[in-house]
Chains A and B, each alone.
Chain A
Amino acid sequence: MAFTFAAFCYMLALLLTAALIFFAIWHLVLPEYLIHAFFCVMFLCAAEWLTLGLNMPLLAYHIWRYMSRPVMSGPGLYDPTTIMNADILAYCQKEGWCKLAFYLLAFFYYLYGMIYVLVSS
């Protein structure tokens, strides 16, 4: 049994995904995006192509979302003047729930992946 880099990445992703679930609920935009980007990089380094592939769409979405945010001098995604519009609010909430589901599934997948790597090596 060897503690491989892949296993390390899985463990890290596992922990971070737990954090992401938290952020997805609380709409802390930048931390969420950064953490997600970080473990995507880890998977890239570990050459876990399948896992990386699963995460790429979300990463792309995050980049697009942040690029098209309202004009704003500081960091952030939500504009205080429009976020209370019911349609925007509803969209953001829906987005949050979808990501929550994704992170939860990812959480168990990483758990499985980590154990699989640890056991098989």
Chain B
Amino acid sequence: MSAPAGSPRPAASARIPPRLGGAGASGAAAPAGPGPAPPQQNGPAQNQMQFPSGYGLHPQNYIAPSGHYAQGPGKMTSLPLDSQHGDYYSGLYTVPTQNVVTPNTAGQQPGAQQMYGRVLPAPHMAGSALGSFPGATSSASHVHTSASVNHHNSPAVGAANSSVASQGFPSTCGHYAMSTVSNAAYPRVSYSSPPAGDPYGQQMFTSQNAPPVRPIRDNSFSGQNTAISHPSPLPPPPPQQYHQEQSLSGYSTLSWSASGLPSTQDNLLRNHTGSLATANNNPTSPVADSLSSSVMQNVQPPVSSPVVSTVLSGASSARTPAAACHPAEPAASVTQPSELFQQKGVDSSSTTSSASPGPNSYDALEGGSYPDMLSSSASSPAPDPAPESDPTSAPAPAAAQPSKVAKPFGYGYPALQPGYQNAAAPPGAGPPSASPVYSGFQQYAQQYPGLNQLSSGLGGLSLQSAPQPESLRPVNLTQDRNVLPVTPVWAPVPNLNLDLRKLNCSPDSFRCTLTSIPQTQALLNKAKLPLGLLLHPFRDLTQLPVITSNTIVRCRSCRTYINPFVSFIDQRRWKCNLCYRVNDVPEEFMYNPLTRSYGEPHKRPEVQNSTVEFIASSDYMLRPPQPAVYLFVLDVSHNAVEAGYLTILCQSLLENLDKLPGDSRTRIGFLTFDSTIHFYDLQEGLSQPQMLIVSEIDDVFLPTPDSLLVNLHESKELIKDLLNALPTMFTNTRETHSALGPALQAAFKLMSPTGGRVSVFQTQLPSLGAGLLQSREDPNQRSSTKVVQHLGPATDFYKKLALDCSGQQTAVDLFLLSSQYSDLASLACMSKYSAGCIYYYPSFHCTHNPSQAEKLQKDLRRYLTRKIGFEAVMRIRCTKGLSMHTFHGNFFVRSTDLLSLANINPDAGFAVQLSIEESLTDTSLVCFQTALLYTSSKGERRIRVHTLCLPVVSSLADVYAGVDVQAAICLLANMAVDRSVSSSLSDARDALVNAVVDSLSAYGSTISNLQHSALIAPSSLKLFPLYVLALLKQKAFRTGTSTRLDDRVYAMCQIKCQPLVHLMKMIHPNLYRIDRLTDEGAIHVNDRVVPQPPLQKLSAEKLTREGAFLMDCGSVFYIWIGKSCDNNFIEDVLGCPNFASIPQKMTHLPELDTLSSERARSFITWLRDNRPLSPVLHVVKDESPAKTEFFQHLIEDRTEAAFSYYEFLLHIQQHICK
């Protein structure tokens, strides 16, 4: 067995030779430990490490990985690049490497890190086995490690192991109740700490299955439990190998256990230890790894982002055809039985892939290979390769795999940011309730305050403490004038048991308007509340488990991804929580098939986290992953040159050229247009960019086929030349026409072979060629209270173009920088249906309107550097009985539940309306799952899965208790936009009012003591009328106030595609008083103290002349300064001696060295940090004309054309009483 195990490694090593060398060096260095340690400490890395270990459990996976591995390196490197991951990688990787890999890796450090896992194997094989043992045994302190190392043959390894072990063990010890002391201390220990070790250890062993293994295992365990059991027990050489294997396996197991367990030790401690250990670890064999991994887990419980061991295979496959990968593996496997296993694993995977019918469309892809996922459960071929692999062989492979496992580590990216690592609790990591490990649980809870969880946690506090009573407490709206809470409104927490609640998806990504789903449509109708989901699927996450696995486990019938809410019937079967079909757990998902003692599938990260990301195999591709391709289509007519946006754009591009997401294949192109279309030949080798002019706009053609979109890296100098020249190139143009349509057609032709992103900058109405538009706005109708026309497109040219683009995986993003009417309603179609995004800068001028120019600059910075996913599809599934019916957002609906997204960006939000088709009486929980399949900018196919679980209730009171009023408002806003376009604005407004009237009257009829004089709402709905009033006064829906058509349409576009958090600020701004900021209740972010002033209600009655107020409207900040505002404040914060000297246009707060200035700025910076689009700041004096804009946002006040809040309540009451 051992031999085989070793063999695999060699293969891996062969590929990565350089690294190995590095590793060796590192190994030597390892003892020094401390040096390397720091990097390791990064929380994220550690976390990731854990995961791998988890994967390690599955031998099969490993095998596959190994094969892929070879290919892996390339990918590995690429991964780090990912915008999100980039930061993490280094930290994570390093750690993993240390743990996982053996000495080699240790040496490598950050650079090498990725490689590590793989590299290690080789080293391990030889001496590491011994080392590993010691490590395990030595579990105790680092110090030990050194000693242990000595004991063991491979010093480096030993050291590594020991250190690792010690760390790892401690954690385990804690769990088990073994004395934590042991951890730190040297391992004293007792053996087998069964608890932790058992499940895992057994599995591990079993998987390895070699008899010798068990002894080894014991040792290792002992190591964990006891102090150093020393390798000596292990002595037999073979055992050593096993140890290694075991260690690997154990590693994984350990990590799992660790993750599952709440480590008794402090996180910090763990981290440190972990880091140290890792540093030491070099070689350590798997054991060490495992230990370290465990440690890691402890430390970073949050880590949830474990990379699955299999990762390698996945990764490799992603890049290269599966077939290619396979060959590689066999070669590696050659050596031994273990190899055989690997081969089998590989084969199986390949077979599986082959078995699955080739996807014909993306639809099929996301669905899995099985097109008719839903309908034909039986018919669909089983994806699982697992069955094929022999159990017997499996053990051997396991050993081999461990080495591979290491690689997985590399892959796993702990999404945690460095800062967060320690702090971040493992939100997702929450151990399954069932697991014995649980003892640790409380600790997790403590850690919980993880960023993501924070909000839900707080929400939980408020709601949980008095769940029903509080949210159902009747509130008399007409008497309670202060319904707005002083703290931000948190998402209500579904009334689930604690375990499920912890596992549930973050409300930031996934929210439902009703956190308690009514049992029947009749009940829903009675409640008169909208039912729907609000999604923010591609949000930037601080932590994200990334899983690489040969087999992505999905329900055979509905193709649901396995998630925390499935139930395991036994070790071999799980029941889908959406369609209730019972599925087999694939071998790969179990720990060790050989011994038939299965691992714990419920401990896999897929089952521990409701938000996970899979690295998809080639089954999920229709074509090789596309490179990142960016095309800029720029208006250079007189109008555009006059506005001067080119300077800002080119400057931003020059600054961010290296930060554009992408890999070495990234391509970029430029195209400008006025009445003609100008292409730019940037072919490498040219001395300067060549402009090619096409004046035939009726039938656009591409002047040259392939040099217009060029490789960013190869032609960087030419691109820079062009960007430097562009702003001045057209300064004297007299061309006023704009041939946008033909330019878009040219862009489409240019992009259609690859797909990618087209960024269109337009400054006026298109006036030439296809898609030309006429001005439709009648300025006299801007403040009409009756009919608002022209909310829909004037032509379907842009829609058809968008659909064509969508079909070619091209998204069109529109930047409209216009001072006059530009018919955004028509132009927006090009982005709406191609999954692009829309930016609008009314009255943009680079010198006359500096605040807009600055906003453009900041928005561009974000736009150019944010994450991006290509050729994406998103499918939303829900429990049988529920059905989706309408989608909101920017996309094209390919089939009834599949959204086609040419691009996906982190700022895109979606909404879905739901209906209840069948009674849900036989279930107590419903689940929703969003699966977003996309190609990362590094050319990897990935699937991000979010799963939300909600309770089903049968009484109307419970339904009301669970209303998420913000989500409901956002969904209503989306529906109202649709209604405005398809019917009329007044219809939409009526519908909004009716939504309040209906729901409140329905509630009124459920409470017995109905007071006709009062307007009663449940506490959960008390903000409903206020928010609806805010919606009615929003630019999109207001009437009577002068609103430019483009502004209105833009607001509607925003409503459709903004995620909930940002949309809520647009609808109901937050008002704070900032002239008396204190540190009371302040929070600490990145070493800064951020004051948290209470929210004020949006009414002029709250504005005192003595105060200064900050209004946060999402994309705009207003600071209103009262006439008699304290001069100290004006001086300290605004830098002006008195009120009179405050300039009329002030868009910055000076950086003054005073306490109040610091507080104000840190508060504003904190608000800004929380959103993707940088808001513009306006300082508004009480007397300035700009104050009308500010006062428009005071939605509780009466305006000429609209009700005050109190009047609105009376209005509603009248309707109810009718």
* A73 adjacent to B797 (CB under 8 Å): yes
A84–B800 CA distance with the chains assembled, in angstroms: 16
Question: Which residues of A are found within 8 Å of B885, using beta-carbon distances?
Answer: 85-87, 90
* B795 adjacent to A81 (CB under 8 Å): no
* B793 adjacent to A84 (CB under 8 Å): no
* B896 adjacent to A86 (CB under 8 Å): yes
Question: Which residues of B are found within 8 Å of A87, using beta-carbon distances?
Answer: 885-886
Answer whether A84 and B883 are a contact pair too, CB < 8 Å, given A71-B796, A73-B795: no
Distance from B108 Cβ to chain A, minimum over Cβ atoms (Å): 51
* B796 adjacent to A72 (CB under 8 Å): yes
**Which stretch in B887-895, B925-933, B995-1003 binds the other chain?**
B887-895
Question: Which residues of A are found within 8 Å of B886, using beta-carbon distances?
Answer: 85-87
- 1/0 contact trace for B853-895 toward A, CB 8 Å? 0000000000000000000000000000001111100001111
Q: Does B1109 contact A (CB under 8 A)?
A: no
* A71 adjacent to B792 (CB under 8 Å): yes
Q: Look across to chain A and name the residue whose beta carbon is closest to the beta carbon of B895.
A: A84
* B794 adjacent to A86 (CB under 8 Å): no
> Which one of A71, A72, A87, A90 has the greatest number of beta carbons of chain B within 10 Å?
A71
* A81 adjacent to B887 (CB under 8 Å): no
Q: Does B799 contact A (CB under 8 A)?
A: yes
Q: Look across to chain A and name the residue whose beta carbon is closest to the beta carbon of B896.
A: A84
Distance from B362 Cβ to chain A, minimum over Cβ atoms (Å): 15
A58–B833 CA distance with the chains assembled, in angstroms: 33
Contacting A at CB under 8 A, from B775-826, are 792-797, 799-800, 803
Contacting A at CB under 8 A, from B971-994, are none
Q: Does A75 contact B (CB under 8 A)?
A: no
Question: Which residues of B are found within 8 Å of A86, using beta-carbon distances?
Answer: 883-886, 896, 915
Question: Which residues of B are found within 8 Å of A89, using beta-carbon distances?
Answer: 896
| Interface bracket on B | 20 to 34
Q: Look across to chain B and name the residue whose beta carbon is closest to the beta carbon of A88.
A: B886
* B833 adjacent to A81 (CB under 8 Å): yes
* B896 adjacent to A71 (CB under 8 Å): no
Answer whether A81 and B896 are a contact pair too, CB < 8 Å, given A71-B792, A86-B886, A87-B885: no
Distance from A60 Cβ to chain B, minimum over Cβ atoms (Å): 21
Contacting B at CB under 8 A, from A81-107, are 81, 84-87, 89-90
Q: Does A57 contact B (CB under 8 A)?
A: no
Interface residues on chain A, number (Cβ under 8 Å): 12
* B796 adjacent to A85 (CB under 8 Å): no
Contact of A84 (CB < 8 Å), options: B832, B893, B915: B893
Distance from B749 Cβ to chain A, minimum over Cβ atoms (Å): 20
Distance from A34 Cβ to chain B, minimum over Cβ atoms (Å): 22
Question: Which residues of B are found within 8 Å of A80, using beta-carbon distances?
Answer: 803, 892
Contact of B893 (CB < 8 Å), options: A70, A72, A85: A85
Question: Which residues of A are found within 8 Å of B799, using beta-carbon distances?
Answer: 81
Q: Look across to chain B and name the residue whose beta carbon is closest to the beta carbon of A89.
A: B896
Total number of residue pairs linking A and B with CB closer than 8 Å = 37
Question: Which residues of B are found within 8 Å of A72, using beta-carbon distances?
Answer: 796
- 1/0 contact trace for A63-78 toward B, CB 8 Å? 0000000111100000
Q: Look across to chain A and name the residue whose beta carbon is closest to the beta carbon of B899.
A: A84
Query: What does DSSP make chain B's interface, helix, strand, loop or mixed?
Result: mixed
Distance from A2 Cβ to chain B, minimum over Cβ atoms (Å): 52
A86–B912 CA distance with the chains assembled, in angstroms: 11
Distance from A78 Cβ to chain B, minimum over Cβ atoms (Å): 13
- 1/0 contact trace for B71-102 toward A, CB 8 Å? 00000000000000000000000000000000
Query: What does DSSP make chain A's interface, helix, strand, loop or mixed?
Result: loop
* A73 adjacent to B895 (CB under 8 Å): no
* B794 adjacent to A81 (CB under 8 Å): no
Answer whether A85 and B887 are a contact pair too, CB < 8 Å, given A73-B797, A73-B800: yes
Q: Look across to chain A and name the residue whose beta carbon is closest to the beta carbon of B802.
A: A81
Distance from A11 Cβ to chain B, minimum over Cβ atoms (Å): 40
* B796 adjacent to A84 (CB under 8 Å): no
* A84 adjacent to B884 (CB under 8 Å): no
> Which one of B792, B796, B884, B915 has the greatest number of beta carbons of chain A within 10 Å?
B796
Distance from A114 Cβ to chain B, minimum over Cβ atoms (Å): 42
Q: Look across to chain B and name the residue whose beta carbon is closest to the beta carbon of A73.
A: B796
A26–B885 CA distance with the chains assembled, in angstroms: 22
> Which one of B794, B797, B896 has the greatest number of beta carbons of chain A within 10 Å?
B896
Question: Which residues of A are found within 8 Å of B894, using beta-carbon distances?
Answer: 84
A70–B793 CA distance with the chains assembled, in angstroms: 9
A86–B316 CA distance with the chains assembled, in angstroms: 39
A7–B803 CA distance with the chains assembled, in angstroms: 48
Contact of B793 (CB < 8 Å), options: A71, A85, A90: A71
Answer whether A71 and B794 are a contact pair too, CB < 8 Å, given A81-B799, A85-B885, A86-B886: yes
Distance from A69 Cβ to chain B, minimum over Cβ atoms (Å): 11
A80–B800 CA distance with the chains assembled, in angstroms: 9
Question: Which residues of A are found within 8 Å of B796, using beta-carbon distances?
Answer: 70-73
Q: Look across to chain A and name the residue whose beta carbon is closest to the beta carbon of B829.
A: A81
Question: Which residues of B are found within 8 Å of A81, using beta-carbon distances?
Answer: 799, 803, 832-833, 892-893
Distance from B740 Cβ to chain A, minimum over Cβ atoms (Å): 16
Question: Which residues of A are found within 8 Å of B793, using beta-carbon distances?
Answer: 71
A71–B796 CA distance with the chains assembled, in angstroms: 6
A89–B884 CA distance with the chains assembled, in angstroms: 12
A87–B896 CA distance with the chains assembled, in angstroms: 11
Question: Which residues of A are found within 8 Å of B795, using beta-carbon distances?
Answer: 71, 73
A56–B832 CA distance with the chains assembled, in angstroms: 39
> Which one of A72, A85, A89 has the greatest number of beta carbons of chain B within 10 Å?
A85
A84–B795 CA distance with the chains assembled, in angstroms: 21
Q: Look across to chain A and name the residue whose beta carbon is closest to the beta carbon of B893.
A: A84
A11–B12 CA distance with the chains assembled, in angstroms: 79
A73–B832 CA distance with the chains assembled, in angstroms: 18
A84–B894 CA distance with the chains assembled, in angstroms: 7
A87–B803 CA distance with the chains assembled, in angstroms: 21
A72–B797 CA distance with the chains assembled, in angstroms: 8
A76–B915 CA distance with the chains assembled, in angstroms: 29
Q: Look across to chain B and name the residue whose beta carbon is closest to the beta carbon of A90.
A: B885
Question: Which residues of B are found within 8 Å of A70, using beta-carbon distances?
Answer: 796
Distance from B549 Cβ to chain A, minimum over Cβ atoms (Å): 32
Question: Which residues of A are found within 8 Å of B797, using beta-carbon distances?
Answer: 73
Question: Which residues of B are found within 8 Å of A85, using beta-carbon distances?
Answer: 885-887, 893
Question: Which residues of A are found within 8 Å of B883, using beta-carbon distances?
Answer: 86
Question: Which residues of A are found within 8 Å of B803, using beta-carbon distances?
Answer: 80-81
Distance from B579 Cβ to chain A, minimum over Cβ atoms (Å): 19
A73–B887 CA distance with the chains assembled, in angstroms: 25
Q: Look across to chain A and name the residue whose beta carbon is closest to the beta carbon of B794.
A: A71
A104–B961 CA distance with the chains assembled, in angstroms: 51
Q: Look across to chain A and name the residue whose beta carbon is closest to the beta carbon of B792.
A: A71
Question: Which residues of A are found within 8 Å of B895, using beta-carbon distances?
Answer: 84
A117–B443 CA distance with the chains assembled, in angstroms: 90
Distance from B835 Cβ to chain A, minimum over Cβ atoms (Å): 12
Question: Which residues of B are found within 8 Å of A71, using beta-carbon distances?
Answer: 792-796
Distance from B789 Cβ to chain A, minimum over Cβ atoms (Å): 13
Question: Which residues of B are found within 8 Å of A73, using beta-carbon distances?
Answer: 795-797, 800
Question: Which residues of B are found within 8 Å of A90, using beta-carbon distances?
Answer: 885
Distance from B1149 Cβ to chain A, minimum over Cβ atoms (Å): 44
Distance from A64 Cβ to chain B, minimum over Cβ atoms (Å): 15
A87–B912 CA distance with the chains assembled, in angstroms: 13
Distance from A79 Cβ to chain B, minimum over Cβ atoms (Å): 8
A72–B792 CA distance with the chains assembled, in angstroms: 12
Contacting A at CB under 8 A, from B1034-1073, are none
A71–B833 CA distance with the chains assembled, in angstroms: 15
- 1/0 contact trace for A22-38 toward B, CB 8 Å? 00000000000000000
6 more A-B contacts (CB under 8 A) besides A84-B895, A85-B886? A73-B796, A81-B799, A81-B892, A85-B887, A87-B886, A89-B896
What is A's interface to B at a CB cutoff of 8 Å? Answer: 70-73, 80-81, 84-87, 89-90
Can you list 28 A-B pairs, Cβ within 8 angstroms, ordered by A? A70-B796, A71-B794, A71-B795, A73-B796, A73-B800, A80-B803, A80-B892, A81-B799, A81-B803, A81-B832, A81-B833, A81-B892, A81-B893, A84-B894, A84-B895, A84-B896, A85-B885, A85-B886, A85-B887, A85-B893, A86-B884, A86-B885, A86-B886, A86-B915, A87-B885, A87-B886, A89-B896, A90-B885
| A-B CB proximity, top 6 nearest | A86-B885, A84-B893, A85-B886, A72-B796, A73-B796, A71-B796
